[in-house]
């Protein structure tokens, strides 16, 4: 059941459009851009947003076919779940469900361990009728782990939304994703975060449900 957008949100989008002018993006890409500008309050993000060829189409097709959404944080999971429920009723899971509560002397992060365990568990259960949409807004280590698995020949996601925020390992993980053959939507540089990654997938959910 579709929900009408709040009038204040619609006025915000109208204002954003008046400021960014013609972008050359197609309608779904434009929607992604508008929503992440709305979530961040940052117009400069427009110059950092990158789409691989057919990334939005790949995501919409996968979502319509019942693909899961995997997030790297519970914050992103919460931000996506309400939209997922009222659009396609998509299953949303956080990789931290499979991460250890405490780390031992391992150099890996909880996010990296959670990603590896959840991805391999899905492969083992043959839970890949449609590759999941992977939403990374915080953990570059989770993104790197996923790219390592893909490089080893493990099943790949339909689309990776690569928007980890920060400085350590962030640019490197995004560059690796940009240079991969994975379908992706990326914010270059240090910008990103759970809210922007969630805004991106929420725009895709709404487009898939339209």
* Residue 61 is among the residues annotated as catalytic for this protein: no
> Which is the catalytic residue, given 6, 26, 38, 184?
38
Q: Going along the chain, which residue ranges are E strands?
A: 49-51, 69-71, 92-94, 133-136, 159-162, 184-187
145, exposed or middle or buried, with CB in 10 Å at 0-12, 13-18, 19+? buried
Mention every residue, 6+ apart, whose C-beta is less than 8 A from residue 131: 62, 67, 155, 156, 157, 158
Q: How far is residue 204's CA from residue 210's CA, in Å, rounded to a whole number?
A: 10
Question: Residue 136 forms beta bridges with which residues?
Answer: 162
Question: Residue 162 forms beta bridges with which residues?
Answer: 136, 186
Q: How far is residue 164's CA from residue 111's CA, in Å, rounded to a whole number?
A: 12
Q: Report residue 155 as tokens.
A: 């099943």
Q: How far is residue 75's CA from residue 195's CA, in Å, rounded to a whole number?
A: 8
Say how many Å lie between the first and final Cα of the chain, rounded. 10
Q: Could you give the residue numbers annotated as active site?
A: 38
């Amino acid at each position: 059941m579709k929900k009408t957008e709040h009038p204040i949100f619609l006025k915000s989008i109208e204002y954003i459009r008046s400021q960014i002018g013609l972008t050359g993006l197609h309608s779904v890409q434009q929607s992604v851009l508008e929503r992440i500008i709305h979530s961040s309050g940052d117009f400069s993000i427009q110059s950092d947003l990158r789409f691989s060829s057919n990334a939005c189409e790949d995501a919409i097709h996968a979502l319509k076919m019942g693909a899961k959404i995997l997030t790297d944080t519970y914050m992103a999971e919460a931000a996506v779940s309400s939209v997922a429920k009222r659009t396609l009723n998509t299953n949303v899971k956080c990789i931290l469900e499979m991460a250890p509560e405490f780390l031992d002397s391992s150099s890996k992060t909880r996010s990296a361990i959670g990603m590896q365990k959840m991805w391999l568990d899905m492969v083992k259960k043959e839970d890949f009728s449609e590759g999941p949409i992977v939403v990374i807004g915080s953990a570059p280590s989770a993104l790197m782990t996923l790219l390592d698995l893909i490089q080893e020949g493990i099943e790949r996601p339909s689309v990776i939304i690569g928007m980890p925020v920060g400085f350590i390992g962030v640019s490197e993980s995004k560059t690796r994703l940009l240079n991969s053959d994975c379908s992706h939507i990326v914010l270059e540089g240090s910008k990103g975060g759970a809210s922007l990654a969630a805004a991106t997938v929420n725009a895709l959910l709404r487009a898939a449900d339209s």
